[in-house]
Amino acid sequence: MTLNRILATTGTEFRIAVRNRWVAIATALMVVFALVLAAAGAAPTGDVGVDRLSVTVASLTSLSVYLVPLLALLMSFDAIAGEVERGTLPLLLTYPIPRVEILLGKLFAHLVVLTLAVGAGYAAAGAAALLVDGASIAGLPALWRLTWSSVLLGATFLGAGYALSALARRPSGAAGLAVGLWLGLVVLYDLGLLAAVVANDGGRFTTEVFPLALLANPADAFRLFNLSAAEATAAAAGVGGAAATIPLWQSAASVLLWPLIALFLATAAFRRVRP
């Protein structure tokens, strides 16, 4: 594996992202939503007895669960299918570059875009909290943890988007699969688990299967990791209650492993694509 070839692909993909306004769009979305949550999510600080930034981090965690995967899938769903439709994939594959290096180049470029957007959004929210409440400096470790774990969450869904793009081979089909994946993992998965927990009424599913099911979903594992490590868990709803019962190392392991699994699946799907 040659780093120069990967970086060359990264540079090309990043210039394409800049030209397509992805850097500006992603950054603007993250900054706007982060500032809105920083202003609206600080109300419970007096009730839970923690600093403003820690409560803001709990709100930003919920934002990241929805927005970061969506941005990642929107950037990656046509990474391969678009090359097929434009007829550039056969030319790209004629070069002596392993397919995994092509994927890594695309991944690094898109991760740079996501990192810029996430960093700008969270920095704006952190600065707003610090300006209002000097005690918010205690929440900076939680904000940093949220930042790098958000990038890893984005890497997971970028890899998933590449896999779907390779399987669909057409941007329209890949877009439909990407929307379905986002709805399934981010929205419907938790609703299904909640329905199962209610039906189980404290039985074996609730005590044994439910925690494992949360860790098996990268979005839920990300939320568990940040809420269980934060001081403002009491200000969060939904999965926040489960965060206190699942060991931190388990959610951290899931957050770290999912990007590797997604990249493996994307590489396997890309190898099946014929020019």
pLDDT grade for 154, boundaries at 50, 70 and 90:
very high
pLDDT over 70, % of the chain = 89
CA 137 to chain centre: 25
Convert the pLDDT of each residue in 57-75 to its tens digit: 888 888 899 999 999 999 9
Q: Name residue 44's amino acid.
A: P
User: Does position 80 have pLDDT exceeding 70, yes or no?
Assistant: yes
Residue whose tokens read 């209002």: 132
Q: What is the mean pLDDT of residues 202-223?
A: 86
Q: What is the mean pLDDT of residues 22-49?
A: 76
Give helix then strand counts, H and E, for the chain: 15, 0
pLDDT score, position 234: 45
Contact criterion met (CB below 8 Å) for 228 and 128: no
Closest to 129 (Cα-Cα) out of 64, 198, 214, 34: 34
Q: What is the mean pLDDT of residues 165-180?
A: 92
CA 122 to chain centre: 14
| Helix%, strand%, coil% for the chain, nearest 5 | 85, 0, 15
Convert the pLDDT of each residue in 245-256 to its tens digit: 788 889 899 999
User: Does position 133 have pLDDT exceeding 80, yes or no?
Assistant: no
Average pLDDT, the chain: 86
Query: DSSP assignment, residue 158?
Result: H
- Sequence ranges of the domains in the chain: 2-271
